Chains A and B, each alone.
Chain A
């Protein structure tokens, strides 16, 4: 539960941690665009993307092993799609065939590129969550969605709901631990017994937890009323998001990446 709370935030001081979260989100979008703009017939474009990823990892000061761990979550998907693609893609240079299954040179290259794309995508997005707290992310999303206010979309309220939910996760997880311990001290057993017994064992946790959540929500509502919270009107921010020299550098790196990938697509698009 706690993992959800901090997201996967990895506290450190680094270039990436200090970037404006809005820029990080935009950069991620640009990166995804670059990954898919990169030609799918050779590796030049993806090599440029990988280079940027390596730079980012270095400047994030997040341990490499931790970054790689993000790939582990999608490993199954990766292997599975790669396998399917290798077997079914087809192509001219056939190495092996059996019925409709054919392993071809094109198939191998195609699935390798696909796997590489997925890996880059997952690793880079996880880098965003490693270096940005969930609260900063919500702030950034609110700021980026501000134009939607023109069509009366409740951007601020949405962001508030998100940040309250995020804030409540650690509180409720702590509360769960406490209640669980209290019931364990009274001999409750959550490990043994069949599935039905296990579900039933959770009733003594669930009921106090629900009560606690409602109580907290009430209290929070009262506290907000008491401080005259009125929604988004005329509200100022405690932490103002500001662009700095770092963001300018990052912006140019992103722009260079996209330009580079487009150039590669135009001039180096030849298949291997």
Chain B
């Protein structure tokens, strides 16, 4: 499923004194199979954008748009696969089955007595009417999901989600979303508040899902290393607009613009910069492995020159 957004705008509390423009004419296309990153300063509209992707926030309905169209030229478009989200009649529950969404701090959405019941929540909700999955099927799917997020089902399935650690809770919450095998998985800062090791583990998990469980992954993140390391492409949000969209390889080549937007740059890009100032130009894609290979490659070259 491909995601196409054109001229998307969103205002919170519209037509009140508290109105806040969160999205301003955003146009993006996310191809199937991508590992897509969304970065930007706090308050730049990232969460607002991703909440549109499964219809939690809606565009103005097409009727209203037609009325408005006379005044303004462009009308917003948002399509996810064959779903047209600007249409009021769209079956949003069916859409949500295909677009899984993991919110910031998802562990705060847990509610059931046992981990197994909580993970099964989505599965039972999305089951078609009259075709309730058997207990066997549910159990199998839940166990599979728990295994996928790295929790041993035998040990955790019967536990209360509230007696787990923060990181474990988050895994349960992620399992509760991926259990329906959505085609697109959207994650809003999935690693926020975890320690470096926990972050790494979550990112590794996402790689495991990508392609196999979920064709497309869209991830909102503040961690540039994460973006550089994992994403096929990334969009930079600033004050509700997309100011840049490129693969990390190109995105982090020019670091000044990012810094002026108040964004960090990946460690590897900083290293490349520092080396460049000292006269060593390194061409790499800003992943750790890429960097190491590039440096080793140069070292090997030097070695050969030295021997000659």
Contacts and interface: CB of A to CB of B under 8 A. Distances in A.
Interface of A: 6, 10-12, 175, 178-179, 181-189, 203-205, 207-208, 211-212
B69 to A, nearest CB: 28
A11 B103 contact: no
B17 A187 contact: no
Given A187-B97, A208-B111, A181 B122 contact: no
B54 A185 contact: yes
Nearest to B105: A178
Given A10-B17, A11-B17, A186 B103 contact: no
Given A189-B125, A204-B121, A184 B56 contact: yes
A212 B162 CA distance: 12
B248 interface: no
11 contacts: A178-B103, A178-B108, A182-B101, A182-B103, A184-B56, A185-B96, A185-B100, A187-B96, A208-B109, A211-B162, A212-B108
A187 B125 contact: yes
Contacts of A184: 56, 96
Contacts of A186: 96, 109, 121-122, 125, 176-177
A193 B169 CA distance: 30
Given A185-B56, A187-B97, A208 B110 contact: yes
Chain A residues touching B, majority SS? helix
Interface in B22-76: 51, 54, 56
A185 B108 contact: no
A183 B121 CA distance: 9
Given A6-B18, A204-B109, 20 more contacts: A10-B17, A178-B108, A181-B51, A181-B103, A182-B101, A182-B103, A182-B109, A183-B109, A184-B56, A185-B54, A185-B56, A185-B96, A185-B101, A186-B109, A187-B96, A187-B126, A188-B121, A188-B125, A205-B111, A211-B162
Contacts of B111: 203-205, 207-208
Nearest to A182: B109
Most buried by A among B51, B93, B100, B108: B108
A233 to B, nearest CB: 37
B266 interface: no
A131 B121 CA distance: 46
A189 B93 contact: yes
Nearest to A178: B103
Contacts of B56: 181, 184-185
Contacts, number: 62
A219 to B, nearest CB: 14
A122 B100 CA distance: 48
Nearest to A184: B56
A193 B185 CA distance: 28
Nearest to A175: B108
Contacts of B162: 211
A103 B51 CA distance: 60
Nearest to B118: A204
Contact of B106 (A11, A12, A182): A182
A181 B102 CA distance: 10
Contacts of A10: 17
A100 B135 CA distance: 69
A235 B63 CA distance: 57
A183 B118 CA distance: 11
A186 to B, nearest CB: 4
Contacts of A208: 108-111
A186 B176 CA distance: 8
The 4 closest A-B pairs by CB, nearest first: A187-B125, A186-B122, A185-B101, A182-B109
Nearest to B53: A185
A181 B100 CA distance: 12
A185 B126 CA distance: 10
Nearest to B176: A186
Nearest to B97: A187
A10 B18 CA distance: 10
A3 to B, nearest CB: 10
A11 B16 CA distance: 10
A12 B17 CA distance: 9
A19 to B, nearest CB: 19
Interface string B164-198: 00000000000011001000000000000000000
Contacts of A175: 108
A34 B121 CA distance: 60
Contacts of B108: 175, 178-179, 182, 208, 211-212
Contacts of B121: 183, 186-188, 204
Contacts of A204: 109, 111-112, 121
Contacts of B54: 185
Most buried by B among A175, A184, A187: A187
Contacts of B51: 181
B57 to A, nearest CB: 9
A122 to B, nearest CB: 22
A12 to B, nearest CB: 8
Nearest to A203: B111
Interface in B75-126: 93, 96-97, 100-101, 103, 106, 108-112, 121-122, 125-126
A229 B140 CA distance: 53
A205 B110 CA distance: 9
